[in-house]
């Protein structure tokens, strides 16, 4: 289990932490007296999350509190932020935490369960929760209580090269609202005519099975237990993936680097299905500007499919020195300010899940790279249709086992049912430790 394996190392740091805190007590109390208009926040990714926080800071200072300031500490990756909480929780001392912290949606439930005293709920912050996609807020809602304020949008998009489709006699419409079987037929035809795969996936950490499953309104978990081999929809999804690989519709990349840099970056594929955060990777190939178009996912039945992959939210910690200010700041900015979200999109590419904010002129503006379509407004609309399925703190551990299933059925000729049964047993064992 991810958190508990970190605890042993975290406990070793508790002694040093206590010394540091004791030596800095006087300075901390003095700083607290001067901080009535100041908040601290930990995030990761200086090119994505940091601009979003700066946009929120400027918005709040201009329209609510002219003395407000936000001290932003940006880490390299999300796991660094998780380690901060793990160390503090293992030591039983949250005084090292910032006022607000950004956390991955798929991990937060585990951390609230393990460290319930580390968080302050935002139930009374005055946020219109119905203005967000239901699937987005389900991650941060524990026992009916809201803890997190959504930031970025993890809605999955299907993106296709219109020029390649046209060369083979198809349009994006032919891949919208279609069955996976029709998708496979088109993909095989494209491969035979161009040598390009219609789709690729990271073979190490494969998100595609979970994406396809959620588009069917199903989860990999049922009543808190692993639900893979016993899930007939999951069996069908994995059978479709096996067929896509066999018929040269889906290319399995060795790792993330090959997936992004070679299959997408070097024109090996005519399509991409992943969280919308994949857009910057697609846009790096300047010569393909104007050739891509976005739509919804195929499904087993042929209805338009919707899913989510990734995303994060902001949480107030137990160490917050001004809870009322933190709630006011989050409610005004990421709770629905079009000013915050417009600037976050323009400066960092952060797409909101706030439905009303997604209707601004900035969001409605056409994007040249994607044939001048208003893709950001479309993505926000798609997010509102993502089905809510059972979430579990073992989501990423499940992804590891399901990735092994894909490898086993494609490389070792192990049957789908047998491979899923092994994955289900291994995952359930981990969940019970």
The candidate with the shortest Cα–Cα distance to 313, out of 124, 37, 41, is: 41
Q: Distance (Å, rounded) from C-alpha 259 to C-alpha 51?
A: 27
CATH topology classification for 2-154+312-379: D-Maltodextrin-Binding Protein; domain 2 (3.40.190)
In contact, 186 and 174? CB cutoff 8 Å: yes
- pLDDT band of residue 83 (cuts 50, 70, 90) is very high
Q: Is the dihedral of CA 379, 385, 387, 388 positive or negative?
A: positive
- What pLDDT sits at residue 36? 87
pLDDT score of 19 more than 70: no
The candidate with the shortest Cα–Cα distance to 211, out of 238, 191, 229, 190, is: 238
pTM of the predicted protein model: 0.90
For residue 114, what is the enclosing H or E element? helix 105-114
The tokens of 36 are what?
């009535």
The residues near 276 (Cβ < 8 Å, ≥ 6 apart) are 153, 154, 155, 156, 157, 351, 379
Please classify residue 433 by burial: count the beta carbons closer than 10 Å to its beta carbon, then call 0-12 exposed, 13-18 middle and 19+ buried: exposed
Residue 47 DSSP class: I
The residues near 116 (Cβ < 8 Å, ≥ 6 apart) are none
Give the chain's mean pLDDT. Answer: 92
Residue 395 DSSP class: H
- Tally Cβ neighbours within 10 Å of residue 247: 15
Domains in the chain: boundaries: 2-154+312-379, 156-307+394-432
- Tally Cβ neighbours within 10 Å of residue 7: 15
Determine the angle formed by the axes of helices 323-332 and 50-63, rounding to 10 degrees: 100
- Tell me the β-bridge partners of 199: 250
- Tally Cβ neighbours within 10 Å of residue 229: 20
In this predicted model, what pLDDT tens digit does every residue of 228-240 receive, in sequence order? 999 999 999 999 9
pLDDT score of 4 more than 60: no
The residues near 285 (Cβ < 8 Å, ≥ 6 apart) are 264, 265, 267
Rg (CA), the chain: 23
The residues near 63 (Cβ < 8 Å, ≥ 6 apart) are 332, 339
To 5 degrees, how large is the angle CA 398–CA 379–CA 243? 45
In contact, 317 and 100? CB cutoff 8 Å: yes
- What pLDDT sits at residue 32? 52
For residue 253, what is the enclosing H or E element? strand 250-253
In this predicted model, what pLDDT tens digit does every residue of 285-341 receive, in sequence order? 999 999 999 999 999 999 999 999 999 999 999 999 999 999 999 999 999 999 999
- What pLDDT sits at residue 302? 98
For residue 87, what is the enclosing H or E element? helix 78-91
Residue 154 DSSP class: -
Q: Count of residues for the chain?
A: 433
In contact, 241 and 183? CB cutoff 8 Å: no
Q: C-alpha 296: how far from its chain's center? A: 17
3-state secondary structure of 44: strand
Q: pLDDT higher for 36 or 54?
A: 54
The tokens of 288 are what?
């393909």
CATH class of this structure's domain 156-307+394-432: alpha beta
In contact, 196 and 187? CB cutoff 8 Å: no
In this predicted model, what pLDDT tens digit does every residue of 351-400 receive, in sequence order? 999 999 999 999 999 999 999 999 999 999 999 999 999 999 899 999 99
């Amino acid at each position: 289990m991810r958190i508990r394996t970190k605890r042993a190392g975290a406990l070793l740091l508790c002694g040093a932490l206590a010394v540091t805190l004791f030596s800095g007590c006087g300075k901390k109390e003095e700083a607290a007296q001067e901080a009535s208009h100041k908040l601290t926040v930990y995030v990761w990714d200086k090119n994505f999350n940091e601009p979003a926080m700066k946009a929120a800071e400027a918005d709040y200072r201009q329209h609510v509190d002219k003395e407000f300031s936000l001290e932003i500490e940006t880490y390299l990756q999300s796991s660094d932020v998780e380690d901060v909480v793990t160390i503090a929780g293992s030591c039983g001392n949250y005084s090292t935490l910032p006022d607000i912290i950004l956390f991955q949606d798929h991990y937060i439930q585990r951390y609230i369960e393990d460290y319930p005293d580390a968080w302050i709920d935002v139930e009374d912050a005055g946020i219109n929760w119905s203005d967000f996609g239901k699937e987005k807020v389900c991650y941060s809602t524990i026992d009916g209580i809201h803890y997190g304020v959504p930031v970025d949008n993890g809605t999955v998009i299907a993106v296709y090269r219109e020029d390649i489709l046209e060369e083979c006699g198809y349009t994006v419409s032919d891949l919208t609202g279609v069955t996976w079987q029709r998708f496979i037929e088109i993909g095989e035809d494209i491969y035979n005519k161009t040598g390009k795969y219609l789709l690729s996936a990271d073979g190490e950490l494969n998100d595609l099975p979970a994406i396809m499953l959620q588009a069917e309104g199903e989860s990999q978990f049922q009543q808190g237990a692993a639900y893979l081999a016993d899930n007939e929809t999951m069996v069908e999804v994995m059978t479709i993936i096996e067929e896509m690989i066999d018929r040269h519709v889906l290319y399995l990349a060795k790792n993330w680097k090959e997936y992004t840099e070679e299959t997408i970056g070097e024109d090996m594929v005519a399509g991409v299905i992943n969280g919308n955060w994949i857009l910057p990777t697609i846009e790096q190939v300047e010569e393909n500007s104007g050739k891509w178009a976005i739509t919804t996912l195929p499904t087993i039945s042929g209805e338009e499919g919707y899913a989510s992959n990734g995303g994060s939210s902001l949480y107030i910690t137990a160490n917050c020195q001004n809870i009322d200010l933190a709630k006011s700041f989050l409610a005004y900015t990421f709770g629905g300010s079009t000013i915050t979200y417009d600037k976050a999109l323009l400066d960092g590419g952060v797409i909101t899940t706030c439905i009303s904010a997604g209707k601004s002129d900035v969001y409605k503006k056409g994007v040249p790279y994607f044939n001048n379509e208003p893709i950001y407004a479309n993505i926000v609309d798609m997010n509102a249709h993502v089905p809510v399925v059972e979430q579990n703190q073992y989501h990423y551990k499940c992804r590891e086992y399901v990735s092994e299933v894909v490898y086993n059925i494609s490389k070792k000729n192990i049957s789908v049912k047998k491979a899923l049964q092994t994955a289900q047993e291994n995952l359930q064992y981990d969940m019970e430790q």
